[in-house]
Every structure is written in structure tokens, then in C-alpha cells.
Copies of this chain bind each other. A is one copy, B any other.
Amino acid sequence: MITLTEENYIKAIYHLSKQGAENVNTNALAEAMNTKASSATDMIRKLSEKDYANYKKYKGVTLTETGKRIAINIIRKHRLWEVFLVEKLNFTWDEVHELAEQLEHIKSQKLIDELDIFLGHPTHDPHGDPIPNKDGEITYVEKTLLSQAQVNLRYSCVGVNDSSSEFLQYLNNNNISLGSIIEVMHIEPFDKSINIKANGKLLTVSQSVAKNLYLKKL
């Protein structure tokens, strides 16, 4: 039996190894899990004993195939629940992440299969992230961070890198949502802040905002 904590560590390892090197550092994992490095070491050991992870002392951790399968399944559940909350229960995209962190641990294959059917096999969650299919396959679409976008080009907003309510509410306040048209007007060399036209309205966003908004060239 896999515990809730193990599931969360596995998911964290998965996400970290997608956005950085394949091998995940103990400190990075501890940071992501809001624990201390010593706790992360203990858990890495445990995951490795259970064959969810590959571990060599001082060399970081990677997931085994089993571990990856588990991670993807949790992510699938997380994102399907997010869709459910937004589409069926009147939640907004800034309200669902924390709750999905709870719901993703509910154990029932039939539940998730039926939820998927009930929602019409959605392909993306409310933040633009792809939903793995029943076989764990994930379809990635090309996307660019606003921080990497080119001046004078038109983009459409297709996702966020940070699903925290704080960031999403910032976007709400500036009328930016999935599908919004974003035009890059000017990049300020001094602090890399960016002048954009979002849905026709002028707006200046900081680098840290720009690093969390995904666009697609139009």
C-alpha cells in the first residue's frame, strides 16, 4: 500500500525532474515538499526500497517506470478534478489547486474513469496543463514563456507555470485568462519588465510574472 506522503514525494520528484535535470537533488526535493533535507533522504530511501525510485547516495534520485506511472496517474487525477470543480461546481481557476491536492489521493479506478467520461474526456485542465490519458500518455503542445516572447508578435495565452491562487488572482485582476490575446509591445532593458497589450489593454508586467505565463504564437 502506498501512503499519501509517498504519493506526494513521487509527484514532486516527477515535476522537478521535468523542469530541471533528470536527477533530483535532496535539497530541491525537501524544498518542494516543505520539509528538511534529512526527511527527504529518509523518504528517498523508502521509495527506493519500494522500487518507486532509483537512488545512489549523494547522486540524487530518479523515478523508476513504476514511479513514473504512479506520478502520472496522480497528475491525471489532479487535473481531472480541477476540470470538474471549474466546469461543474462553479469554482474559478484560482480556487481549485489546493483542493485538487486533496482529491488526487482518492483511490478508485472506477471513480477516475467515470469522472473522465462525465467530463467528456477533457484534454487540458483549467490552467492549460495537459491531462494524461488512461494509458498515461501526455500530449504536449508547443508553448513559450512570456519572458521568452518576441516584441511585436501576437500570442494567445495557453497556460500558467504557477497555479497558486495569488498568481491566478493577479491575472484575474488584469483580465488575463486562457485564450487572452497578448501582444508584446516593449521589453524594458533595465529590469526586463514587459509592456504588453492584453485583450487590447496596455499593461506592464514584471519578469517574475512573465516567467509564469505560457503563450502560443498566433
Contacts and interface: CB of A to CB of B under 8 A. Distances in A.
A102 B107 CA distance: 8
A110 interface: yes
Contacts of A91: 110, 114
A118 B103 CA distance: 18
A94 B99 CA distance: 27
Assign chain A's interface to a size class: 10 to 19
A16 interface: no
A90 interface: yes
A106 interface: yes
A115 interface: yes
Interface string A63-94: 00000000000000000000001001111000
A90 to B, nearest CB: 6
Q: Is the interface of A mostly helix, strand, loop or mixed?
A: helix
A205 interface: no
A89 B115 contact: yes
Interface string A91-125: 10001000100110011101100110010000000
Nearest to A85: B111
18 contacts: A85-B111, A88-B118, A89-B111, A89-B114, A89-B115, A89-B118, A90-B114, A91-B110, A91-B114, A95-B110, A99-B106, A99-B108, A99-B111, A102-B106, A102-B107, A102-B108, A103-B106, A106-B106
A110 B95 CA distance: 10
Chain B CB count within 10 A is highest, among A89, A99, A103, A107, for A89
A102 B110 CA distance: 14
Nearest to A99: B108
Given A99-B108, A102-B108, 15 more contacts: A85-B111, A88-B118, A89-B114, A89-B115, A89-B118, A90-B114, A91-B110, A91-B114, A95-B110, A99-B106, A99-B111, A102-B106, A102-B107, A103-B106, A106-B106
